[in-house]
Chain A
Amino acid sequence: MSNKRPILSVENLTKVFGGVVAVDNVSFTVEEGEIFAVIGPNGAGKSTLFNMITGVLPSSSGNIYFQEKRLNRKKPYQIAQMGITRTFQNLEVFDNMTVIENVMTGAHITMKTNILTAGLRLPSVRNEEVKTMERAMEALEAVGISDLAYEIADRLPYGSQRLLEIARAAISNPKLILLDEPMAGLNSEESRQLVEVILKMREQGMTFLFVEHDMETVMSISDSIVVIDNGVKIGEGTPEEIYQNPQVVAAYLGDEEEEGVEAYA
């Protein structure tokens, strides 16, 4: 725990929609090799925060640094090229492709083929295709769905589609994978499978930042947690520390009306 280096720093990040402050001056630092969770009740601003880090939404103020490089104003594809990939809460598989093509598309930024070499199908292109396919197969094995490789992606069950998204996000060897509510919509068996995959990949040195509503999973797998409520950071620490934080307990167990405040993006 001691010699870890910061990989992602969020500094005083704020997002204002009209008059509503969705994310208010939030700061935290994710260190290399950890599973970092951002939690909070519905409408706390988690998704807005997530969308700012992935470049989908511009921030109103504050900074995001990834390995000392500023991410603000970078486009999503540029952020991916820097080494941050992601999965989606509402599943965004390429439904017009097979499972293995989905994963091969994830390897897009690691490939060199251009339109001319592709059209002439030079031997280098062929080799790259074969290699990418093998890597894609390995990535599918790592998440345990290699038997579905040649199915059309949207025919997969929900849980498998989420695993597919993780394989797609992991194949480019990113430095950080962002998971947007990875447990949403999964049954307990699927959740268990997903947790296993995430823990295994962390062991191999992957860093994860995830936004999650489901407290139980967060507590069981995270190394560090940030809790936000109404856009404000109300707690930070290890799962044990979070359990004992009275503000967090109040936010989660306190009045239910707050659940109605939707600042969801």
Chain B
Amino acid sequence: MTSEEQQQEGTQDGQQEAKPQAPLATLAATQRPNQEFKKTLTDTLDKLFPNSPFTIDETTTDVNVHCPPEHLSWLVTTLKERKELAFDYLRNVSGVDYEEGLTCVYHFYSFKHGHTVQLTVKCPPDNVHIPSLTGLYATASWHEREAAEMFGFVFDGHPNLKNLLLEEDLDIHPLLKAHPLQKPEILQGIEDGTPGFDF
């Protein structure tokens, strides 16, 4: 990088920075869902997939797309490949145990546009199979292993779906709401005790 470029970048940064006299931006004002992006996403999805099964709403921080598991691969590929979306970074995969059924939540980020999106994949009650994203994002591997061991998801196409954080042969899914909070000794049968305690 030449010194000129450095100077240019320096001035650009200087312009971006707000003046200290301006009122303080609190967290409520930042990290909000991007309405412009929501419109782009809605348009793109409508164009590519008429009568799409996706519903788009908002969380406190992100644009949220509800997606059935069977359309996940298509949707993520679209999100990654389309130039106006260009989601090249999988931030996070988290499982959630809602009463309605197990849900897998993905967060994506686009380095090109600075957009974020959240995908909520709700599994039907009797089927916890979700296509794996390891082919698209290398970082999905460990995230999916973690979600699989904690909630019992089965990520189809994952090369190595072993336990990651728990013991290798432990076949429990501790983050399910049905799983009581208890000492591991009770779980292993070493100690007696009433399962579950509250703070």
Same complex: no
Residues of A participating in the B interface, judged by any CB pair closer than 8 Å: none
